[in-house]
Amino acid sequence: MSILIAEDDPHLRAGIVDLLSLEGFQCQVAGDGAKALALFKAEKPEICVLDVMMPVMDGLTLLREIRRIDPLVPILLLSARGEESDRVRGLEIGADDYVAKPFGARELVARIKAALRRTKVQGIPARSEPDGRLRMGDLEIDQKAMRAYRGEQRIDLTSREVAILAALHERRGQAVSRDELFDLCWGRDYMPNSRALDQYVSALRKKIEIDPAAPRIIRTVHGVGYRYDEDEP
């Protein structure tokens, strides 16, 4: 199993390589974003771990470039705790997860393995229309193409964003708890992080809601999770 590790701190980079090598990963390493992009194109790793702050090309730019090449490869971001805006931006442009520094070895390994288990949307019995698309309000979601449409507007989605929408559509009219969304969209053995889910939903709302501050597709159920109401305006 090949993994790309892009981290400019040589000590942390070496520690991650030692850790993941023991787990059986073949590590491709780079100390800046430009070298990491070249490695990705040459080696086609099965998963990527990218530091946000790197020289030459930062992690968010690298993330965007990798997503242009491969929309499905799992990508985790490494970010300092004070870089919340970078984490949110990363989720918006296609990161699957983030790990806040400093992090424990077990957490990093668990998140990497969880991401690898869902390179595609799986296990969500979404009830779709005959043409295979989900309809949520004035939005149409093409699950296979990972795109949503509002009239002539096209909205590109990540695999996990499609999974979230499919889960809410399947349970329309019912509150779906945060734990249930984690199970359906991240995997049952994923280490829950409610803040990560809320940030993911916030980023998704910015993409699909006409007014993200007053959402009509992904509604918050305080203290529980989220709900899609098919019949409400």
What digits encode the pLDDT tens for the residues 99-131? 888 899 999 998 888 778 765 444 434 444 545
Asked if pLDDT for residue 189 goes beyond 60, the answer is no
CB-side neighbour CA atoms (13 Å) of 32: 5
Asked if pLDDT for residue 136 goes beyond 50, the answer is yes
Token couple for 149:
């449409």
CA distances to 16, 93, 151, 222, 224 from 219, in Å: 39, 22, 22, 9, 11
Q: What is the mean pLDDT of residues 141-154?
A: 88
Average pLDDT in the chain: 85
Segments making up each domain of the chain, as ranges: 2-116, 133-227
- Residue-level pLDDT at 122: 42
Token couple for 48:
């990527």
Name the more confident of 32 and 98: 32
Q: Which among 105, 104, 1, 13 is positioned nearest to 51, based on CA atoms?
A: 13
Pairing status of strand 219-221 against strand 225-227:
antiparallel
Please report, in angstroms and rounded to a whole number, the separation of the first and last CA atoms in the chain.
47
Intrachain domains 2-116 and 133-227 with the same fold = no
Q: What is the mean pLDDT of residues 74-98?
A: 79
Name the more confident of 197 and 103: 103
**pLDDT above 70 covers what percent of the chain?**
86
**CA 219 distance to own-chain centroid:** 20
Q: Is 17 helix (H, G, I), strand (E, B) or coil?
A: helix
CA distances to 6, 10, 40, 228, 230 from 22, in Å: 18, 18, 22, 43, 48
2-116 falls under which CATH superfamily?
Response regulator (3.40.50.2300)
Question: What is the fold, at CATH topology level, of the domain defined by 133-227?
Answer: Arc Repressor Mutant, subunit A (1.10.10)
Q: What is the pTM of this model?
A: 0.60
Q: Which among 82, 106, 204 is positioned nearest to 155, based on CA atoms?
A: 204
- Give per-residue pLDDT as tens, 13-61: 999 999 999 999 999 999 999 999 999 999 999 999 999 999 999 999 9
